[in-house]
Chain A
Amino acid sequence: MCIKMNDESQINELYSMLFNESPDSDTLKSLLKVFHEHDNSMDYLEDNLRKSDKFKLLSEKLEVELGVAELYYILLNRKPDKEGLSFFTNQIIEQNKSLDWVSESIKNSAEFKSII
C-alpha cells in the first residue's frame, strides 16, 4: 500500500508538471495501470503522456509562451510577470501576432526605454 501511494504521488507529480493540473481519479487509475504494465517505468509513462493529443495541443501553447519568456529575459533582463506572459501569448495564439510583434511591443515599453 505504501509503495502504491508513492507511485500515485509520483504519477500525480509528473502529470501536474506536464499539464499544470491534477489528474482526475479515472485518469490516475489508467496511468497507474500503464505504469505497472511497463515495469513501473516512469520514463515510459512520461513518453506516453508526451505523445498524447492533449499534450501535443498544449505544447504548441507552451512553445509560444517560451518564445515570449525568452524575449522578456533578453530585452528586460527579468522573468515575465504572469499578466504580460498571458497577454502576449494570447495575442500570438488568438490574434495571429508574431514574436517579432511582441519584441517590438516590449521595445516600445517604458520599462525597456528606461533600461537602455
Chain B
Amino acid sequence: MFLFFNNTMFPLNILGISHLAPSPFGHYTSVAMLDDNSNLFAISEERLSRIKNDGGYPSNSIQFCLNQNNLRLDDVGNVAVGFGLEKQHVGQIMKEKFSCYAKDTGYKKTSIERKNPIFYDHQYIHARIGYALSGFKKALVICLDGGGVDNGEPNSGGIFVVDNGDIQPIKYFPMYHSLGLTYGAVTEVCGFPMSEGEGKTMTIAPMGENESKTNKEKIYGHMSNVFPNFKGIDVKSNGSVTFTSIFLHDTTITSVEDTRLLLLKRLYHRNLIAWAAQKRIEDILIDFISKAVDTTGIKNVVFSGGIFLNMIMNMKIQQRFGDRLNLFFNPICSDHGNAIGAALEEYYQQTGKNPVPPYMSLYLGSSYSDEEVLFSTKKFSFKVSKVNKVDSAIDLIERGKVIGWFQGRSEFGPRGLGNRSILALPTEQKYKDIVNEKVKKREPWRPFCPTIIEEKSSEFLKNPSYAPYMILGFEMKNPELYPAVTHVDGTCRPQILKKDDNPDFYQVVKGLDGIILNTSFNLAGDPIVETPHDALMTLKNSEMDALLMNDFLIEKCV
C-alpha cells in the first residue's frame, strides 16, 4: 500500500516483526513500526509481557506500536517478518530468493494473518540492519548466529557484499557449522542456559587465564575439535554438537549430550572450559575476517548476528583490524534487531532508500509523561518530590547512593543506555558488590559497564573509538581506579557518550568526573523496565536507594 503525494510514492506504515512463526516456538520476539514519516518505534515483547526473552506471539508489542502512532492495523501497509521460512512453509517466492509469502502464515487466528506478511530471509535481514546502521556505502557484512533460514534452508551465518543498499550473498554456512550453537553448548556445560547465558561464559573466560600452560594447551586442543573446523571462510565439520531439546510454547529447553563436552566438563573447571571456547571463537573469527577481507578487498566490515554480542571477541577483532579496516558492530545484532531489519528491508524494497542515520539512536521505545509517573506512584507508599533530576542524580551518586534513572524513550535491545539505567560510582569495588548482590540480586562476579563522556574517553581507555552502544570492549588505562566497572582482565564495555546523544544523562556523567557505573534497569531474570510501574516495582523489590523518574525523586519511606 502506498501514499501518493505530488506524484511521489511513499511507503505507508510498515510493521516489522521478529518472531519465528509459523514455528510454534521462538525467542526475542520484537516489533518495529516505521511510519509514513520514517519515524521508527520499536519494542520487544518481553518489555510488556515481563517474561525475559519472550518468544511468544507479539500481541502486546503490535498493539503498543499501533497505539504509539494512533493507528489501527488497517492503517498498516505491509507486515514484514525477519525470519525466513523453511521450504515446506514457502508459498509464493518474491524478490528473487530473499523473501516469500507463506503457504500457511503461521499467524492463523490472529489479526496479522489478513495482512499476509512477507517473510524475509534471516541472515539477509541481519545484514540489512547491520548495514543500515553502519553508514557505509559499500561493505562486507559478516553474519553469524545460532541459526536461521535463508533460501528455504536452515543456516548459521552468511557473508554478504552490500553496495549502495543492494545486498548480495557470497556464502551461507549450514547449521552443522554453527558457531552460535557450539558456543551455546559450551555455555550449557558451564552451567548456564543456552541462548541466555553466553554472556556469562564470556565473563568467566578470563578467570581461566591463570591456569597452567599445559592444561590450557590441552583443553584448547580439545576445544578445537568441538568447534567447526574453520580455515578462513572455508569450513568443515568436526561433527556438530549434539543436543536434546524440548520445545515449549515460547522457549526451547536444551540439554547438551555431546560426549566431548560432557567429558570436558568432568575433566576441567568451567572457567577453563569457558576460556578455551572464548579463545577458540576469537581465533576462528580473526582467521575468518582476514580471509573474507582478502577475498573481497573490501575495507568496510559490518558484523551482525547474535554471536557479535560477545564484546570481548569484538574487542579482539577491533584490536587486530581496527588500524586498517573500518569496522561496525551492530548493537542490535541478535534476533531482536530483525524486527527493525525487516521494516528497513521492506522500506528499501519500496523506495531503494535507507531511512535511518548512521549510528542511529536506540531510544526507540515509549516515553511516559509526568502525569503517568505520578499516577503510578499512587499505588506505592513512596516519598515523591519534584527535583532537578541532573543535580539530584549527581548529588545522590556522589554520596555513594545507588539509584534508578528513568527518563525519555526506552532503549531497544539488551542495554540500558541512560534512559532505563541503574547508576552508581565506579570508583570502589563495594559499588559493584552492592549492585550485584543487593540491587540486581545476581552472581557477585558479574561485571558492570561504565558510561564515559566522549571528551574524556582517552583519559580512561586505551585506544578508544566512538562506541555508543556497549557492544565493544576496551582496555582500561588505570583499572585499579575504577574497580566497579573493570573486569578481571582489565577490560570494560563502555557506552561512550556524546552530549547530543542524551543531554541530561551526559550532564550527570560529566558532573561525576566523566565516568559512571551504568547497568540496565532490571533485577536478575527480569526484562529491562519499560513503564513507571515496572521501575517502581524494581525499587520496591531491591535495595536501590532512590529512583529518579522524569523530574521526580522517589524514595522509600523510612
Contact = CB atoms under 8 A, between A and B. Distances in A.
Interface of A: 17-18, 20, 43, 46-47, 50, 59, 62-63, 65-66, 69-70, 72-74, 76-80, 85
A17 B265 contact: yes
Contact of B242 (A47, A59, A79, A85): A79
Most interface-central of B222, B240, B257, B267 (chain A CB within 10 A): B267
Given A74-B238, A78-B239, A79-B242, A69 B260 contact: yes
Interface in B246-267: 257-260, 263-267
Given A66-B222, A72-B239, 17 more contacts: A17-B266, A47-B269, A65-B263, A66-B260, A66-B263, A66-B264, A69-B260, A69-B263, A70-B225, A70-B238, A70-B260, A73-B238, A73-B239, A74-B239, A77-B237, A78-B239, A80-B259
Nearest to B257: A79
A73 B260 contact: yes
Contacts of B258: 79
A63 B240 CA distance: 20
Contacts of A73: 225, 238-239, 259-260
Contacts of A77: 237, 239-240
Contacts of B267: 59, 62-63, 66
Given A79-B257, A79-B259, A80-B259, A70 B222 contact: yes
A15 to B, nearest CB: 11
Contacts of A17: 265-266
| Nearest 4 interchain pairs by C-beta | A73-B239, A69-B259, A66-B263, A70-B225
B259 A72 contact: yes
A18 B222 CA distance: 18
A83 to B, nearest CB: 13
11 contacts: A20-B266, A47-B269, A63-B267, A66-B222, A66-B260, A66-B263, A70-B222, A70-B225, A70-B238, A79-B259, A85-B259
A73 to B, nearest CB: 3
Contacts of B260: 66, 69-70, 73
Most interface-central of A47, A65, A70, A77 (chain B CB within 10 A): A70
B240 to A, nearest CB: 8
Most interface-central of A17, A74, A76, A80 (chain B CB within 10 A): A74
Nearest to A46: B269
A52 B260 CA distance: 23
Interface string B263-277: 111110100000000
Contacts of B263: 62, 65-66, 69
A37 B242 CA distance: 39
A54 to B, nearest CB: 13
B238 A62 contact: no
A65 B240 CA distance: 18
Contacts of A76: 239
Please classify how large the interface on chain B is, using the bins under 10, 10 to 19, 20 to 34, 35 or more. Answer: 10 to 19
Contacts of A78: 239, 242
Nearest to B265: A17
A39 to B, nearest CB: 12
A72 B240 CA distance: 11
B199 to A, nearest CB: 20
B363 to A, nearest CB: 40
A62 B222 CA distance: 12
A62 B266 contact: yes
A76 B240 CA distance: 11
Nearest to A50: B269
Most interface-central of B222, B259, B263, B264 (chain A CB within 10 A): B259
Interface string B211-255: 000000010001001000000000001111010000000000000
B404 to A, nearest CB: 31
A69 to B, nearest CB: 4
B217 to A, nearest CB: 13
Nearest to B267: A62
A66 B257 CA distance: 14
A79 B241 CA distance: 9
A65 B267 CA distance: 11
Nearest to A85: B259
A57 to B, nearest CB: 13
Contacts of A74: 225, 238-239
B261 to A, nearest CB: 10
Contact of A18 (B218, B239, B266): B266
B525 to A, nearest CB: 19
A92 to B, nearest CB: 14
Contacts of B242: 78-79
Contacts of B266: 17-18, 20, 62
Contacts of A79: 242, 257-259
Contacts of A50: 269
Contacts of B257: 79
Nearest to B268: A50
Most interface-central of B225, B240, B242, B258 (chain A CB within 10 A): B225
A115 B524 CA distance: 47
